[in-house]
């Protein structure tokens, strides 16, 4: 007898069937494809150039069973690297993640995962920025167990990259030598890039990398993946190459000594990993990051930056009312728009005369500034410029009234003496403590509420966390210190920006220690390096430009011999390098000659003409200083391709030298461009001055640059550079 098939039976059957879905996350030119099967782990299939409908239908899947899990968990395939590992409340070290569903809301795709044996929920999140070709990936981990679980590995995302001739571009450095470029092939084994500073994270390494998929990276051709972890704290980037056909790239918070006890009902949100792909080489990836950064990440990314004079290398701690007035008058006379008074202006009981006292006591030293901030603001207004000020809110000195009142506010290992930093007395305030967060906010709040005319803040951070310990966190949560510090830092920044959205804030951290996309939503720019030497800045700013736009890179004209490396370079050379970023000055104008002031006055006026091109234009790096060809060259081009600025710097000088002719990029091949040299010091113009060339000619052939600046005999030097403005006719 045939059984009758009822509606309830059919519904039950459908409910038990698994479903499969191809999840496509795409922008204008990029596709990411995952295969999703309910009850199974999500699988990576593709990341690269955008696919059409037919290509998606017939897309070949990697035959890598168990190794293409989009977010691999530890415990059931232990030989493979894991993005997530935890100790469950009962001690079990294994985790399985199976698909529960997929949700799309606007530009965010969520893949919902669940452990079938434990009430652990993991949501893989993807946000797209279609016009910028950017995809942000992150993970949200929720504990619904009865007790806390311990997270021991918690990457933001994992990306497989097919083996072949894949090269990695990454960055290393140190204080005064930040963002040095390294290019190397990826070989079997592991490549690990970490930060353990605690407070800053981009001195010794960077949380940004590029993968060139068809050999050593080329600037304006070739397939390249770019990845940047948007985080201000300790991170770990890892590329694992095992016996499979893929490299596996993991990025996230550095879990060393940072296991996280996730409470019942709590959700842990990992930092975002920004991913892009370009078929226009390394510079193509940079252009994507710059557009995304200016529009969505960088504070005031759509507003031109002012040309400033910072007092630090001019006077260091020797702050006084008359000296500040003199420097303001000088920068105003050269066309500058802002003066920033650096370290040394504060302290009552302990006046700030050197770097060993007073941090935390943010009151004016009336012996140095008898008329206070009011007098400085009055003088700035008198000279027609804006005023800015230096602070270091996250730090204190043991020689300070703050420390005497709140020794319990500092980062310190339990049962041990504090490890002291700069000046033998510096300590880090514990931003995991809400009272410290309130104090940090109050520093800015008090200044800007009392003196709303302050236009700019230089926010410094001159010390890492040297001893692991929090006097606020419980002993069971000591491993949360590095994470909670940056949560507290972000909370303070959010409060500051909510109340003071218009002030310009620079992220300085012993130079370039905070060049990262984790802090820049709250900051307008960063100080690239304490080293202002023009030659070394070419190398540092070259590496920095891989992920950060010129508008965010503070680049200053300084004195010679340089205060860091004691090199003597020509003033024009220093100007031409500084004009490739956010132009400023770091010098005592009183020590400059009239000719030098006039050259700077001319340069500032010409920078104002090209400022929109440099700060909002598309970068094309042309000849790398790291290739050791005797020169470096790059250019910025407007979106409309009607204007461009071309930079050419010699990096060494020899008699009978032979330098390559630089081919330009990014221009409209069918338009004619008129050439005008900026910052000219030669006795007569170049032969190309005022002449017009087609974009095709400039990109296919290029222009020969004279190897030396032909000046009066007494002004000749070996530091040759050129800056050209190209304007379409």
Instruction: Using alpha carbons, select from 488, 470, 465, 359 the residue that is nearest to residue 412.
Output: 470
Find how far residue 113's CA is from the centre of its chain. 31
Q: CA distances (Å), 77 to each of 67, 68, 85, 191, 304, in order?
A: 9, 12, 12, 21, 52
pLDDT of 9 reads 40
Q: Which residues of the chain have pLDDT under 50?
A: 1-17
Structure tokens at 75: 């415990």
pLDDT of 18 reads 60
Residue 386 has a CB neighbour count (10 Å cut-off) of 21
Burial of 486 (0-12, 13-18, 19+ CB in 10 A): buried
pLDDT of 67 reads 79
How many CA atoms within 13 Å lie on the side-chain side of 438?
Answer: 4
pLDDT of 66 reads 63
How many CA atoms within 13 Å lie on the side-chain side of 498?
Answer: 7
For the chain, what is the mean pLDDT? Answer: 96
Any alpha helices (H) in 500-584, and if so which ranges? 534-544, 571-578
Q: CA distances (Å), 526 to each of 467, 510, 515, 564, in order?
A: 26, 11, 6, 19
Strands (E) in 231-307, as ranges, are 235-241, 246-253, 260-262, 267-269, 272-278
Interior CA angle at 347 toward 343 and 348, to 5°?
Answer: 160
List of residues 6+ apart from 522 with CB closer than 8 A: 299, 490, 493, 494, 496, 497, 505
pLDDT of 65 reads 64
Interior CA angle at 458 toward 454 and 459, to 5°?
Answer: 120
Structure tokens at 207: 């949380």
List of residues 6+ apart from 331 with CB closer than 8 A: 308, 309, 338, 339, 385, 585, 589
Residue 639 has a CB neighbour count (10 Å cut-off) of 9
List of residues 6+ apart from 412 with CB closer than 8 A: 418, 427, 467, 469, 471
Report how far residue 431's alpha carbon sits from residue 437's, in angstroms, rounded to the nearest whole number.
6
pLDDT of 19 reads 77
Query: What 3-state class would DSSP assign to 375?
Result: helix
pLDDT of 63 reads 81
Report how far residue 137's alpha carbon sits from residue 557's, in angstroms, rounded to the nearest whole number.
39
Task: State the Cα torsion 408-413-416-420 to the nearest 10°.
Answer: -80
Name residue, tokens 């304006």: 220
Query: What 3-state class would DSSP assign to 414?
Result: coil
Q: CA distances (Å), 181 to each of 60, 193, 538, 589, in order?
A: 35, 13, 12, 34
- 9-51 pLDDT, tens digit per residue, is 434 434 444 678 999 999 999 999 999 999 999 999 999 999 9
pLDDT of 12 reads 41
pLDDT of 7 reads 44
Residue 142's beta-bridge partner residues?
A: 121, 267
DSSP code of residue 480: G
Per DSSP, the residues of 265-279 read: T-EEEPPEEEEEEES
- 388-423 pLDDT, tens digit per residue, is 999 999 999 999 999 999 999 999 999 999 999 999
Residue 608 has a CB neighbour count (10 Å cut-off) of 14
Element (H, E) at 112: strand 108-114
Say whether the peptide bond before residue 561 is cis (omega within 30 degrees of 0).
yes
Task: State the Cα torsion 326-331-335-339 to the nearest 10°.
Answer: -110
List of residues 6+ apart from 48 with CB closer than 8 A: 30, 31, 223, 277
| Domains contained in the chain, CATH given | 14-297 (2.70.98.60), 308-616 (3.20.20.70), 621-728 (2.60.40.1180)
Contact 176, 531 (CB under 8 A): yes
């Amino acid at each position: 007898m045939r059984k009758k098939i009822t509606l309830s039976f059919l519904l039950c059957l459908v409910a038990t069937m698994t479903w499969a879905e191809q999840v496509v996350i795409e922008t204008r030119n990029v596709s990411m494809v995952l295969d999703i099967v309910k009850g199974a782990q999500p699988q990576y299939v593709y990341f690269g150039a955008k696919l059409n409908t037919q290509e998606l239908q017939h897309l070949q899947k990697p035959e890598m069973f168990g190794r293409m899990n989009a977010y691999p968990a530890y415990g059931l395939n232990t030989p493979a690297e894991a993005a997530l590992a935890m100790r469950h409340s009962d001690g079990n070290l294994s985790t399985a993640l199976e698909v529960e569903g997929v949700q799309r809301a606007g530009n965010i795709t969520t893949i919902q995962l669940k452990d079938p044996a434990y009430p652990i929920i993991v949501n893989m999140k993807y946000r797209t920025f279609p016009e910028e070709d950017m995809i942000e990936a992150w993970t949200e981990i929720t504990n619904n167990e009865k007790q806390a679980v311990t997270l021991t590995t918690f990457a933001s995302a994992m990306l497989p990259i097919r083996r072949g001739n894949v090269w990695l571009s990454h960055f290393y450095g140190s204080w005064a030598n930040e963002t040095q470029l390294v290019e190397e092939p990826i070989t079997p084994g592991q490549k690990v890039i970490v930060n353990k500073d605690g407070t800053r994270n981009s001195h010794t390494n960077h949380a940004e990398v590029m993968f060139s998929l068809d050999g050593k990276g080329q600037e304006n051709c070739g397939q390249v993946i770019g990845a940047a972890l948007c985080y201000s704290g300790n991170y770990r980037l890892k590329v694992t190459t095992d016996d499979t056909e893929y490299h596996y790239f993991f990025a996230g918070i550095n879990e060393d000594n940072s296991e996280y006890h996730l409470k019942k009902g709590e959700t842990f949100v990992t930092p975002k990993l920004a991913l892009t792909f370009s078929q226009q080489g390394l510079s193509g990836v940079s252009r994507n990051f710059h557009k995304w950064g200016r529009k969505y990440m960088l504070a005031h990314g759509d507003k031109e930056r002012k040309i400033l004079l910072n007092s630090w290398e001019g006077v260091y701690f020797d702050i006084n009312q008359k000296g500040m007035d003199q420097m303001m008058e000088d920068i105003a006379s050269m066309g500058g728009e802002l003066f920033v008074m650096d370290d040394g202006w504060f302290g009552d009981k302990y006046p700030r005369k050197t770097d060993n006292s007073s941090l935390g006591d943010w009151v004016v030293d009336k012996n140095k500034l008898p008329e206070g901030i009011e007098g400085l603001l009055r003088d700035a207004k008198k000279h027609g410029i804006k005023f800015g000020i230096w602070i270091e809110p996250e730090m204190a000195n043991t020689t300070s009234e703050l420390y005497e009142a709140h020794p319990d506010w500092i980062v310190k290992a339990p049962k041990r003496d504090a490890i002291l930093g700069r000046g033998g007395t510096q300590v880090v305030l514990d931003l995991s403590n809400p009272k410290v967060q309130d104090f940090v906010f109050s520093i800015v709040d008090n200044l800007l509420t009392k003196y709303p005319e302050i236009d700019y803040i230089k926010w410094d951070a001159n010390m890492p966390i040297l001893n692991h310990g929090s006097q606020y966190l419980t002993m069971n949560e000591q491993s949360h210190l590095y994470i909670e510090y940056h949560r507290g830092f972000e909370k303070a920044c959010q409060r500051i920006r909510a109340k003071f959205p218009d002030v310009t804030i620079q992220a300085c951290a012993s130079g370039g220690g905070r060049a990262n996309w984790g802090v820049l939503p709250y900051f307008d720019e960063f100080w690239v390096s304490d080293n202002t030497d023009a030659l070394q800045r070419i190398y540092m700013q070259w590496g920095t430009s891989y992920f950060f736009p010129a508008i965010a890179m503070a680049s200053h004209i300084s004195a010679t011999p340089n205060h860091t490396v004691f090199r003597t370079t020509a003033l024009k050379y220093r100007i031409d390098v500084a004009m490739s970023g956010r132009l400023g000055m770091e010098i005592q104008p009183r020590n400059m000659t009239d000719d030098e002031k006039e050259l700077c006055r001319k340069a500032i006026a010409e920078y104002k003409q090209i400022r929109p091109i440099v700060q909002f234009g598309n970068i094309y790096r042309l000849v790398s200083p790291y290739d050791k060809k005797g020169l470096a060259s790059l250019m910025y081009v407007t979106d409309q391709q009607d204007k461009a600025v071309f930079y050419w710097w010699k990096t060494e000088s020899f008699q009978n030298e032979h330098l390559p002719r630089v081919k330009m990029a990014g221009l409209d091949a069918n338009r004619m461009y008129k050439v005008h040299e900026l910052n000219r010091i030669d006795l007569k113009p170049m032969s190309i001055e005022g002449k017009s060339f087609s974009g095709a000619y400039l990109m296919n052939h290029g222009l020969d640059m004279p190897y030396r600046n032909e000046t009066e005999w007494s002004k000749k030097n070996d530091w040759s550079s050129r800056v050209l403005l190209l304007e379409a006719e």
